[in-house]
Structure 1
Amino acid sequence: VVLQTYSVSTDSIVLTALPSVPFCCHEDLLTMTRAQLEAVVRALNARLPRRMRI
């Protein structure tokens, strides 16, 4: 999975590759336990640029 974002400061597109999908859809997030949600946050934060981390 690749996340695409736009950086205003560098006027560029930033691509962030994830080795696996941490969840399937936003509805999936609603049914997760706190521990599962924290695992999603850790997975995303491990790859996201610092300014985009949760």
Structure 2
Amino acid sequence: MPDNELLEIYKDCGGNYITIGSDSHEAKDLAADNEVARKLADKYELKNVIFKEHKMIVV
């Protein structure tokens, strides 16, 4: 997960979007820190997106 400094730089450079995913290697760890990631996205006013058929969709 990126730290606050990196997210500030991203936002200052015009970044507006973020994808939230999991790097889990076991089912029990799936989505373990999603809530923390969502709170960081909200803090920096980043829109969470997914991609479907190569098109970005804000969720």
* TM tier, smaller: 0.3 to 0.5
Using the size of structure 2 for normalisation, the TM-score is 0.32
Structure with greater contact order relative to length (CA < 8 Å, sep ≥ 6): 2
Using the size of structure 1 for normalisation, the TM-score is 0.34
